[in-house]
Amino acid sequence: MTELTLTGLASSIARREISAVEATRACLDRIARLDGSLRAFVTIDGDGALARARALDADLAAGRRRGPLHGVPLAYKDLCHVRGLPTSCGTKTAEYFTSEVECTAVARLTAAGAITLGKLNMTELALGPFGDNPHHGDVDNPRKSGHVAGGSSSGSGAAVAAGLAYGALGSDTGGSIRLPAACCGIVGVKATYGRVSRAGAMPLSWSLDHLGPMTRTVRDAAVMLEIVAGHDPHDATSSHHPVGALVSSLDRSPAGLRVALPENYYFDGVTPEVRAAVEEAARVLGALGVGVKTLRLPDPAILHDVANVLARSESAAIHARVVRDRPHELGAAVRSRLEVGFHISAHDYLQAGRLRARLAREFVAEVFAETDAVLAPSIPEPPPSLADVTAGPVDEIVRRMGRFSRLTRPFNALGLPAVALPCGVLADGRPLGLQIVGGPFDEATVLRLAHAYEQATDWHRRRP
Amino acid sequence: MREADPGRRQAQGDVAALAGTIERAAGDLALAEEPSNFAVVLEAAAPRD
């Protein structure tokens, strides 16, 4: 049963072929069997999930379907405030984060009928791309044990890939949805900045944070995104721009759309198998009638600096208390990255914010006059050994973190929608990752391209 | 006086380099440019259905 997709399960439950209780028990059984070694979950709410499943089954028997996710078990990154469950944010403190409002994205999924299985492991304070955690254990990669699961939404990636949940929420400040999606061979969506409410989720950097779905297929991601997207009065940066019909536009032919492979930066230092897989993805889309060209993109070097100044300043301000009062509770690399923010001046922070506006204006005008979407790798190499990337001096680990997330970070600074999805599998089981990046609020186009590519290939059908 | 620890010196050096890059790039920003224009850019470029 856990082999079903989120939409497949939702349909089976709606037809009453499978009950919500059966689906929930299947997930809980699988968690009991596999999570001892995967360490994807921090909190498992088995009793709560089964009670909710029984109520939803009774509703359906009485002819009441709550919404498109009626009876579907999901799980949430442990920085989402879910009523009744603690939120550690990957720290040593069980209840590090609380909020007056429940995470809006979780509340909307629940209103659509979803069942909460529990909370998912993550890199401490969402700071780090590898999925290691000194307090809750390192998340293992279900595709290749001992290798990086990706971070910071590491538990979300592993749980969905391993069939412990039908979908999950992650957060992405510099790639934290797309990196674990790539490492675990699943789909992850970082929508346009402002598209998905951040209310009720621990902030790392309010200028760069995004919440989004992580699933096994593009259609599943579109279903979740359509539910969680849209204006929220609890988030001051939430957009009023209409969400539109993301799911129903998936099956429109992509013929006539234009995609571009970057001529600069995004293939520099990328391993040959990753480059070949992304170029092959472009060829597949070309065969579907999509126009493919190469394009020189505005230099992302300054974008990295802008993102660094914003992220470091904001994260140091937000998490100053733990850094100053309880620094011994933080991992060395996390503490080191946070402390940098204390040294950035207000002048530099404001200049970075002003620069960001200009860089986004230039990028959108130059790039989307020429193409509808950009294709690039999500990660520059197949998931590496976790022991290798977390060994050595802190400075070296921090540099490795920067290299591993350098292909995703620019699109946080630009606020553009990006879908990460698998585009290959090595003989040893490690997946390769593609990201498709679109114009502002054009999630429909990136999802449509991703769905067309996915349907023309079979990477999403490969199970760990 | 106590010497700053190597980690802190490294962090201060990194920040100084970052600040220099930002200041050079921001040198020719329009006077009217402000951080909230970022959201304006995104909204203005959104598809019109």
Closest partner residue to A354 (CB to CB) among B35, B46, B47 is: B35
Chain A hits for B36, CB-CB cut-off 8 Å, are 357
Can you give the pLDDT of all 464 residues of chain A as single tens digits? 889 999 999 999 999 999 999 999 999 999 999 999 999 999 999 999 999 999 999 999 999 999 999 999 999 999 999 999 999 999 999 999 999 999 999 999 999 999 999 999 999 999 999 999 999 999 999 999 999 999 999 999 999 999 999 999 999 999 999 999 999 999 999 999 999 999 999 999 999 999 999 999 999 999 999 999 999 999 999 999 999 999 999 999 999 999 999 999 999 999 999 999 999 999 999 999 999 999 999 999 999 999 999 999 999 999 999 999 999 999 998 999 999 999 999 999 999 999 999 999 999 999 999 999 999 999 999 999 999 999 999 989 999 999 999 999 999 999 999 999 999 999 999 999 999 999 999 999 999 999 999 999 999 999 88
String of DSSP letters for A219-265: HHHHHHHHHHBS--TT-TT---S----TTTTTTS--TT-EEEEESSS
The residue whose two tokens read 């994205």 is: A105
Whether residues A305 and B14 touch (CB distance < 8 A) is answered with no
Shortest Cα distance, chain A CAs vs residue B3, angstroms:
17
| Cβ–Cβ contact B31 with A under 8 A | no
- Three-class DSSP category at B22: helix
Whether residues B18 and A308 touch (CB distance < 8 A) is answered with yes
Whole-model pTM: value is 0.97
CA distance A429 to A28: 25
Sequence spans of domains, chain B: 6-44
| Cβ–Cβ contact A440 with B under 8 A | yes
CA distance A456 to A447: 14
CA distance A142 to A431: 11
Nearest Cα residue to A156 out of A39, A274, A6, A313: A39
DSSP E strand boundaries for A387-448: 418-425, 431-438
Q: C-alpha angle A82/A40/A326, rounded to 5°?
A: 70
Residues 6+ apart with CB under 8 A from A185: A143, A161, A422, A425, A431, A433, A459, A462, A464
Contact criterion met (CB below 8 Å) for A344 and A310: no
CA distance A38 to A20: 25
- The superfamily in CATH containing domain A6-301+334-461 is Amidase signature (AS) domain (3.90.1300.10)
String of DSSP letters for A159-197: HHHTTSSS-EEEE-SSSTTHHHHHHHT-EEEE--TTTB-
Nearest Cα residue to A157 out of A77, A82, A218, A87: A77
| Best residue in B42, B43, B48, B49 for a mutation probing chain A (most A CBs within 10 Å) | B42
Whether residues B34 and A395 touch (CB distance < 8 A) is answered with no
Whether residues A440 and B11 touch (CB distance < 8 A) is answered with no
- Cα-flanking dihedrals φ and ψ of residue A139, to 5°? -75, 130
Burial class (CB in 10 A: 0-12, 13-18, 19+), A457: middle
| Cβ–Cβ contact B4 with A under 8 A | no
The answer to whether ipTM exceeds 0.90 is yes
Whether residues A355 and B41 touch (CB distance < 8 A) is answered with no
| Cβ–Cβ contact A348 with B under 8 A | yes
- Catalytic residues of A, by residue number, are 77, 152, 176
